[in-house]
Structure formats: C-alpha cells, structure tokens
Amino acid sequence: KKRAAELRVEILFKQPESSYLGDCPICCLPLSIDPEYSTIMMCCSKVICDGCYYANEIREVKASLIPSCSFCRQPVQAGDKLEKQRMTRIEANDPAAMSQKGIELDKKGDYQSALTYFTKAAGLGDAEAHYWLSHLYSDGLGVEKDSRKEIHHLEEAAIGGHPEARFNLGCDEKE
C-alpha cells in the first residue's frame, strides 16, 4: 500500500511531456494550455490550433467555399444541427464532447446534468472533466461538498497534465 502511494505521488509530480490537450491534429504542433488559442470542432471533437483554423478560413474565402471543419471538412452546423452533431459524438462515448456539454450545462446552472456528463467523461480519462468535477465538489454544486473527492479529481486532472489543476493542488497544499 505504501509503494502504491509512492508511485501515485511520483506520477502526480512528473512533468507532463506536452499539453494535456495534446497536439494539433493538422500541423502537429503542441496546443497551447490557454484554451483561447484553440478551437474545438463539434463535428469530430478535434481541438485545432488557431493557426490551422485561420488558415482554413483563408482557404475557404479565397476559393469561395462554404465554411467547413478544418479537420474533417464537414460543413459547419449551427443551432439544432450542431447540438445533434454533439449528441452523436456523446453517444459514441467521445469524452471531449461530453466535457463540452458538461461545461455548457454548468454555466447554465444545471449542475446535476453537468455532473452526469463530467462523470462519464472522467471515467474515460478526460483531464478537463476531472478538473470540472473538482470544481463541483469544491463548491458543492449539484453534489454535497466533499474535499476528498475534490482533491482526488484535482490529482487525476493534474496527472493528466491539466495546468490549473496543478496550480489548485499547490494552493491546497500550501494551506
């Protein structure tokens, strides 16, 4: 049991090799840890760097094409069609789509539904979902406040390379 705890601590404090978001699937450069510099495409749930997204927009304008996904080239949807695409991705057990749906529901104040999506995505290993679960347990939103579960999900997100989770763990340790 002691060795298992030592291994967990070793994994927790290991420096991640790249962003928890991985690399842009188009240019293969590491994605920024700041989500402002990337775009998630709902049709295929790929996170694309802003450079590739912008290059695709320029290509579409120059060739007078309809707007399409930078990765899979499906036409960009809006409204109900976009939600249908997202639900198709969720039904296919796509953790990125589940996390995005959970974040949307969290921002609307529907914490119970957000909890469901975050729990499923975290079960599939999504670091972002673990981070948002820690937020729910920290503030008692849709669940009873539980600092042990908060720390557990922060640790899982940190192990996955989530920078804000690492920061929050450091703050908790300082206290």
- Could you read off the pLDDT of 30-77 as tens digits, one per residue? 888 888 899 988 888 899 999 999 999 999 999 999 999 999 998 988
Q: At what angle do helices 127-139 and 111-123 cross, to 10 degrees?
A: 140
pLDDT higher than 80, residue 9: no
Single pTM value for the model: 0.82
Give the pLDDT confidence score for residue 175 in this predicted structure. Answer: 63
64-90: per-residue pLDDT in tens? 999 999 999 989 888 888 888 889 999
Q: How confident is the model at residue 26, as a pLDDT?
A: 95
Q: What average pLDDT does the chain have?
A: 89
Are 32 and 19 in contact by the 8 Å Cβ rule? The answer is: yes
